[in-house]
Amino acid sequence: MKSFSYLSAPDTATALHAITGSEGVKFLAGGTNLVDLMREGIEEPATVVDITRLPLTGIEELADGSLRVGALVANSRLAADPLIRTRYPVLAQAILLGASAQLRNMATVGGNLLQRTRCMYFYDEASACNKRVPGSGCDAIGGFSRGSAVLGASEHCVATHPSDMAVALTMLDAVVEVESVRGVRRIPVGEFHRLPGDTPHIETALAADELITAVELPAVPVATHSRYRKVRDRASYAFALVSVAAALAVEDGVVTDVRLALGGVATKPWRAHIAEQHLLGAEATDESFAHAAAAELAPALPLPDNAFKIDLAQRTVVAVLRKLNAERSAS
Protein backbone atom coordinates (compact mmCIF):
# COMPACT_ATOMS: atom_id res chain seq x y z
CA MET A 1 0.00 0.00 0.00
CA LYS A 2 1.26 3.46 -0.89
CA SER A 3 2.10 5.71 2.07
CA PHE A 4 -0.42 8.45 2.82
CA SER A 5 -1.08 11.25 5.30
CA TYR A 6 -3.90 10.90 7.79
CA LEU A 7 -6.13 13.63 9.23
CA SER A 8 -8.95 13.13 11.70
CA ALA A 9 -11.37 16.00 11.07
CA PRO A 10 -13.02 17.33 14.26
CA ASP A 11 -15.71 19.21 12.33
CA THR A 12 -17.18 19.62 8.85
CA ALA A 13 -15.32 22.86 8.15
CA THR A 14 -11.96 21.18 8.75
CA ALA A 15 -12.90 18.27 6.49
CA LEU A 16 -14.00 20.57 3.67
CA HIS A 17 -10.92 22.78 3.87
CA ALA A 18 -8.71 19.67 3.79
CA ILE A 19 -10.10 18.66 0.43
CA THR A 20 -10.47 22.12 -1.13
CA GLY A 21 -7.82 22.79 -3.74
CA SER A 22 -6.02 19.56 -2.96
CA GLU A 23 -5.50 16.53 -5.16
CA GLY A 24 -5.44 12.95 -4.00
CA VAL A 25 -7.60 13.45 -0.90
CA LYS A 26 -10.19 10.87 0.10
CA PHE A 27 -12.73 10.87 2.91
CA LEU A 28 -12.80 7.83 5.19
CA ALA A 29 -16.01 6.81 6.96
CA GLY A 30 -16.63 3.08 7.45
CA GLY A 31 -13.84 2.20 5.02
CA THR A 32 -15.60 -0.96 3.81
CA ASN A 33 -14.79 -0.17 0.16
CA LEU A 34 -12.03 2.45 0.24
CA VAL A 35 -9.64 0.38 2.38
CA ASP A 36 -10.03 -2.63 0.08
CA LEU A 37 -9.31 -0.46 -2.96
CA MET A 38 -6.22 0.99 -1.27
CA ARG A 39 -4.94 -2.49 -0.47
CA GLU A 40 -5.39 -3.46 -4.11
CA GLY A 41 -3.56 -0.35 -5.29
CA ILE A 42 -6.61 0.92 -7.18
CA GLU A 43 -7.07 3.92 -4.91
CA GLU A 44 -3.83 5.67 -3.88
CA PRO A 45 -4.81 8.81 -1.96
CA ALA A 46 -2.09 11.15 -0.80
CA THR A 47 -4.23 12.09 2.21
CA VAL A 48 -7.04 10.27 3.99
CA VAL A 49 -9.42 12.49 5.96
CA ASP A 50 -11.23 10.58 8.69
CA ILE A 51 -14.75 12.03 9.00
CA THR A 52 -16.16 9.63 11.59
CA ARG A 53 -16.23 12.37 14.25
CA LEU A 54 -18.50 14.68 12.21
CA PRO A 55 -22.06 15.28 13.50
CA LEU A 56 -23.74 13.50 10.57
CA THR A 57 -25.31 10.56 12.38
CA GLY A 58 -28.90 11.74 12.91
CA ILE A 59 -32.20 10.52 11.46
CA GLU A 60 -34.59 13.45 11.60
CA GLU A 61 -38.26 13.70 10.68
CA LEU A 62 -39.02 16.97 8.89
CA ALA A 63 -42.20 19.02 8.97
CA ASP A 64 -43.42 17.79 5.57
CA GLY A 65 -43.14 14.14 6.60
CA SER A 66 -39.83 13.50 4.87
CA LEU A 67 -36.79 12.08 6.66
CA ARG A 68 -33.28 13.51 6.70
CA VAL A 69 -30.65 10.83 7.17
CA GLY A 70 -27.11 11.87 8.05
CA ALA A 71 -24.38 10.60 5.75
CA LEU A 72 -22.60 8.81 8.61
CA VAL A 73 -25.62 6.82 9.74
CA ALA A 74 -24.56 3.16 9.75
CA ASN A 75 -26.46 0.89 7.37
CA SER A 76 -27.46 -1.40 10.25
CA ARG A 77 -28.97 1.49 12.20
CA LEU A 78 -30.86 2.79 9.18
CA ALA A 79 -32.36 -0.63 8.43
CA ALA A 80 -33.47 -1.01 12.05
CA ASP A 81 -35.00 2.45 12.43
CA PRO A 82 -38.77 2.19 13.12
CA LEU A 83 -39.66 5.02 10.73
CA ILE A 84 -37.66 3.42 7.93
CA ARG A 85 -39.17 0.00 8.52
CA THR A 86 -42.70 1.44 8.59
CA ARG A 87 -42.59 4.08 5.84
CA TYR A 88 -39.87 2.68 3.57
CA PRO A 89 -39.70 -1.10 4.09
CA VAL A 90 -38.08 -1.47 0.66
CA LEU A 91 -35.04 0.43 1.95
CA ALA A 92 -34.69 -1.66 5.10
CA GLN A 93 -34.97 -4.86 3.05
CA ALA A 94 -32.38 -3.69 0.49
CA ILE A 95 -29.87 -2.90 3.22
CA LEU A 96 -30.38 -6.22 5.00
CA LEU A 97 -29.86 -8.11 1.73
CA GLY A 98 -26.80 -6.05 0.83
CA ALA A 99 -24.11 -7.31 3.16
CA SER A 100 -23.31 -9.18 6.37
CA ALA A 101 -24.10 -7.71 9.78
CA GLN A 102 -20.43 -6.89 10.34
CA LEU A 103 -20.26 -4.82 7.15
CA ARG A 104 -23.62 -3.15 7.81
CA ASN A 105 -22.35 -2.05 11.22
CA MET A 106 -19.43 -0.23 9.58
CA ALA A 107 -20.81 0.91 6.22
CA THR A 108 -22.41 4.35 6.06
CA VAL A 109 -25.14 5.89 3.94
CA GLY A 110 -22.75 8.25 2.16
CA GLY A 111 -20.14 5.57 1.63
CA ASN A 112 -22.71 3.15 0.24
CA LEU A 113 -23.63 5.67 -2.46
CA LEU A 114 -19.97 6.10 -3.40
CA GLN A 115 -18.91 2.45 -3.49
CA ARG A 116 -17.29 1.40 -6.74
CA THR A 117 -18.06 -1.48 -9.05
CA ARG A 118 -17.10 -5.06 -8.24
CA CYS A 119 -16.37 -5.88 -11.89
CA MET A 120 -13.52 -8.44 -11.88
CA TYR A 121 -11.62 -6.50 -14.55
CA PHE A 122 -11.71 -3.36 -12.41
CA TYR A 123 -9.94 -5.27 -9.63
CA ASP A 124 -7.43 -7.03 -11.92
CA GLU A 125 -4.47 -4.74 -12.59
CA ALA A 126 -3.39 -6.95 -15.49
CA SER A 127 -6.66 -6.20 -17.31
CA ALA A 128 -7.68 -3.12 -19.26
CA CYS A 129 -10.30 -1.08 -17.39
CA ASN A 130 -11.38 2.44 -18.26
CA LYS A 131 -12.69 2.98 -14.74
CA ARG A 132 -9.31 2.21 -13.24
CA VAL A 133 -7.08 3.64 -16.00
CA PRO A 134 -9.00 6.01 -18.32
CA GLY A 135 -8.38 5.24 -21.98
CA SER A 136 -6.96 1.76 -21.39
CA GLY A 137 -9.97 -0.13 -22.76
CA CYS A 138 -12.54 -2.54 -21.32
CA ASP A 139 -11.60 -6.21 -21.19
CA ALA A 140 -15.08 -7.14 -19.97
CA ILE A 141 -16.24 -6.52 -23.53
CA GLY A 142 -15.14 -9.69 -25.26
CA GLY A 143 -14.25 -11.25 -21.91
CA PHE A 144 -16.29 -12.99 -19.21
CA SER A 145 -19.40 -10.85 -19.06
CA ARG A 146 -21.88 -12.80 -16.91
CA GLY A 147 -22.08 -10.06 -14.29
CA SER A 148 -22.00 -7.14 -16.71
CA ALA A 149 -24.72 -4.61 -17.49
CA VAL A 150 -27.40 -4.95 -20.15
CA LEU A 151 -28.74 -1.41 -19.66
CA GLY A 152 -26.88 1.91 -19.67
CA ALA A 153 -23.58 0.48 -20.92
CA SER A 154 -21.26 1.98 -23.51
CA GLU A 155 -18.39 0.78 -25.67
CA HIS A 156 -16.10 2.02 -22.87
CA CYS A 157 -17.66 0.27 -19.86
CA VAL A 158 -20.20 -2.46 -19.08
CA ALA A 159 -19.68 -2.66 -15.30
CA THR A 160 -22.76 -2.81 -13.08
CA HIS A 161 -23.30 -0.62 -10.05
CA PRO A 162 -23.07 -2.79 -6.90
CA SER A 163 -25.29 -1.02 -4.35
CA ASP A 164 -28.60 -2.45 -3.13
CA MET A 165 -29.38 0.56 -0.95
CA ALA A 166 -29.00 2.94 -3.91
CA VAL A 167 -31.59 0.98 -5.91
CA ALA A 168 -34.15 1.50 -3.15
CA LEU A 169 -33.20 5.18 -2.81
CA THR A 170 -33.65 5.60 -6.57
CA MET A 171 -37.14 4.12 -6.37
CA LEU A 172 -37.94 6.53 -3.53
CA ASP A 173 -36.71 9.66 -5.38
CA ALA A 174 -34.28 10.45 -2.57
CA VAL A 175 -32.18 13.62 -2.65
CA VAL A 176 -28.47 13.66 -1.85
CA GLU A 177 -27.25 16.71 0.08
CA VAL A 178 -23.63 17.65 -0.52
CA GLU A 179 -21.51 20.44 0.91
CA SER A 180 -18.31 22.27 0.01
CA VAL A 181 -16.74 25.58 1.04
CA ARG A 182 -18.89 27.02 -1.76
CA GLY A 183 -22.11 26.01 -0.02
CA VAL A 184 -24.74 23.29 0.03
CA ARG A 185 -26.11 21.53 -3.05
CA ARG A 186 -29.00 19.07 -3.41
CA ILE A 187 -28.79 16.37 -6.09
CA PRO A 188 -31.70 14.07 -6.98
CA VAL A 189 -30.41 10.53 -6.52
CA GLY A 190 -31.43 9.69 -10.08
CA GLU A 191 -28.90 12.27 -11.26
CA PHE A 192 -26.22 11.44 -8.71
CA HIS A 193 -24.81 8.38 -10.47
CA ARG A 194 -23.64 8.87 -14.06
CA LEU A 195 -23.85 6.61 -17.07
CA PRO A 196 -20.36 5.65 -18.26
CA GLY A 197 -20.46 7.18 -21.74
CA ASP A 198 -16.86 7.84 -22.75
CA THR A 199 -15.79 8.83 -19.20
CA PRO A 200 -16.59 5.77 -17.05
CA HIS A 201 -14.05 6.84 -14.42
CA ILE A 202 -16.35 9.78 -13.55
CA GLU A 203 -19.00 7.85 -11.69
CA THR A 204 -21.05 10.48 -9.83
CA ALA A 205 -22.09 14.12 -9.98
CA LEU A 206 -20.10 14.80 -6.80
CA ALA A 207 -17.44 17.47 -7.34
CA ALA A 208 -13.90 16.84 -6.12
CA ASP A 209 -14.31 19.29 -3.22
CA GLU A 210 -17.74 18.10 -2.04
CA LEU A 211 -18.77 15.89 0.87
CA ILE A 212 -22.06 14.01 1.14
CA THR A 213 -23.71 15.27 4.32
CA ALA A 214 -27.20 13.75 4.19
CA VAL A 215 -29.81 11.90 2.18
CA GLU A 216 -33.39 13.12 2.27
CA LEU A 217 -36.26 10.67 1.83
CA PRO A 218 -39.42 12.40 0.62
CA ALA A 219 -42.83 11.44 1.93
CA VAL A 220 -43.95 8.70 -0.48
CA PRO A 221 -47.27 7.20 0.67
CA VAL A 222 -47.08 4.25 -1.75
CA ALA A 223 -43.70 3.27 -0.26
CA THR A 224 -45.40 1.88 2.86
CA HIS A 225 -46.37 -1.02 0.60
CA SER A 226 -43.03 -1.78 -0.99
CA ARG A 227 -40.60 -4.68 -1.39
CA TYR A 228 -37.03 -5.42 -2.44
CA ARG A 229 -36.09 -8.72 -4.08
CA LYS A 230 -32.53 -9.72 -4.88
CA VAL A 231 -31.54 -12.60 -7.14
CA ARG A 232 -27.95 -13.75 -6.66
CA ASP A 233 -25.72 -16.76 -7.17
CA ARG A 234 -25.75 -17.75 -3.51
CA ALA A 235 -27.89 -16.94 -0.51
CA SER A 236 -24.91 -15.65 1.47
CA TYR A 237 -24.26 -12.02 0.53
CA ALA A 238 -23.36 -12.03 -3.14
CA PHE A 239 -23.87 -9.03 -5.40
CA ALA A 240 -27.09 -8.99 -7.37
CA LEU A 241 -27.52 -10.58 -10.77
CA VAL A 242 -30.90 -8.85 -10.77
CA SER A 243 -32.70 -6.90 -8.07
CA VAL A 244 -36.05 -5.12 -8.03
CA ALA A 245 -37.29 -2.37 -5.74
CA ALA A 246 -41.03 -1.87 -6.13
CA ALA A 247 -44.02 -0.14 -4.57
CA LEU A 248 -47.60 -0.61 -5.76
CA ALA A 249 -51.01 0.91 -5.13
CA VAL A 250 -54.14 -0.62 -6.66
CA GLU A 251 -57.79 0.46 -6.53
CA ASP A 252 -60.60 -1.62 -8.00
CA GLY A 253 -58.08 -3.79 -9.77
CA VAL A 254 -56.33 -0.87 -11.49
CA VAL A 255 -52.80 0.39 -10.77
CA THR A 256 -53.04 3.92 -9.35
CA ASP A 257 -49.41 4.36 -8.29
CA VAL A 258 -46.24 2.38 -8.92
CA ARG A 259 -42.52 2.79 -8.34
CA LEU A 260 -39.89 0.50 -9.87
CA ALA A 261 -36.10 0.44 -9.87
CA LEU A 262 -33.66 -2.26 -10.97
CA GLY A 263 -30.22 -3.31 -9.76
CA GLY A 264 -27.65 -5.74 -11.10
CA VAL A 265 -28.59 -5.06 -14.72
CA ALA A 266 -27.33 -1.54 -15.33
CA THR A 267 -24.30 0.68 -14.97
CA LYS A 268 -26.16 2.77 -12.38
CA PRO A 269 -29.20 2.18 -10.17
CA TRP A 270 -31.91 2.01 -12.83
CA ARG A 271 -35.28 3.72 -12.43
CA ALA A 272 -37.79 1.82 -14.58
CA HIS A 273 -39.73 4.83 -15.91
CA ILE A 274 -40.92 3.03 -19.04
CA ALA A 275 -42.44 0.18 -17.01
CA GLU A 276 -44.06 2.65 -14.62
CA GLN A 277 -45.70 4.49 -17.52
CA HIS A 278 -47.08 1.24 -18.92
CA LEU A 279 -48.50 0.22 -15.56
CA LEU A 280 -50.27 3.41 -14.47
CA GLY A 281 -53.95 2.95 -15.22
CA ALA A 282 -53.48 -0.67 -16.31
CA GLU A 283 -55.12 -3.69 -14.71
CA ALA A 284 -53.08 -5.22 -11.92
CA THR A 285 -52.51 -8.56 -13.63
CA ASP A 286 -49.50 -10.71 -14.42
CA GLU A 287 -50.06 -9.92 -18.08
CA SER A 288 -49.81 -6.16 -17.45
CA PHE A 289 -46.77 -6.63 -15.22
CA ALA A 290 -45.02 -8.74 -17.87
CA HIS A 291 -45.83 -6.26 -20.65
CA ALA A 292 -44.40 -3.39 -18.63
CA ALA A 293 -41.26 -5.30 -17.71
CA ALA A 294 -40.68 -6.31 -21.33
CA ALA A 295 -41.02 -2.68 -22.43
CA GLU A 296 -38.42 -1.59 -19.87
CA LEU A 297 -35.93 -4.26 -20.95
CA ALA A 298 -36.55 -3.81 -24.69
CA PRO A 299 -33.50 -1.50 -25.13
CA ALA A 300 -31.21 -3.98 -23.36
CA LEU A 301 -27.97 -4.87 -25.14
CA PRO A 302 -26.67 -8.17 -23.77
CA LEU A 303 -23.20 -9.61 -24.11
CA PRO A 304 -22.65 -13.33 -24.81
CA ASP A 305 -22.63 -14.36 -21.15
CA ASN A 306 -25.40 -12.19 -19.68
CA ALA A 307 -28.40 -12.40 -22.02
CA PHE A 308 -30.15 -14.41 -19.29
CA LYS A 309 -30.43 -11.22 -17.22
CA ILE A 310 -33.11 -9.83 -19.52
CA ASP A 311 -35.55 -12.67 -18.94
CA LEU A 312 -34.56 -12.94 -15.29
CA ALA A 313 -35.21 -9.24 -14.70
CA GLN A 314 -38.61 -9.42 -16.38
CA ARG A 315 -39.68 -12.44 -14.36
CA THR A 316 -38.44 -10.85 -11.13
CA VAL A 317 -40.42 -7.66 -11.78
CA VAL A 318 -43.57 -9.74 -12.35
CA ALA A 319 -42.94 -11.81 -9.21
CA VAL A 320 -42.45 -8.75 -6.99
CA LEU A 321 -45.49 -6.91 -8.33
CA ARG A 322 -47.60 -10.06 -8.04
CA LYS A 323 -46.53 -10.42 -4.40
CA LEU A 324 -47.31 -6.79 -3.61
CA ASN A 325 -50.71 -7.08 -5.27
CA ALA A 326 -51.54 -10.27 -3.38
CA GLU A 327 -50.53 -8.67 -0.07
CA ARG A 328 -52.74 -5.69 -0.82
CA SER A 329 -55.70 -7.92 -1.63
CA ALA A 330 -55.24 -9.90 1.56
CA SER A 331 -54.97 -6.85 3.82
Give tens-digit pLDDT for 273-300.
Answer: 999 999 999 999 999 999 999 999 999 9
Q: Please state the length of the chain.
A: 331
Give tens-digit pLDDT for 31-77.
Answer: 999 999 999 999 999 999 999 999 999 999 999 999 999 999 999 99
pLDDT (0 to 100) of residue 243: 98
pLDDT (0 to 100) of residue 68: 98
pLDDT (0 to 100) of residue 330: 81
What is the reported pTM? 0.97
* Cβ-contact 52, 134 below 8 angstroms: no
DSSP letter at 257 equals: E
Buried b (16+ CB within 10 A) or exposed e, 116-127: bbbbbbbbeeeb
Q: What is the mean pLDDT of the chain?
A: 96
Closest CA relative to residue 25, chosen from 207, 215, 213, 214: 207
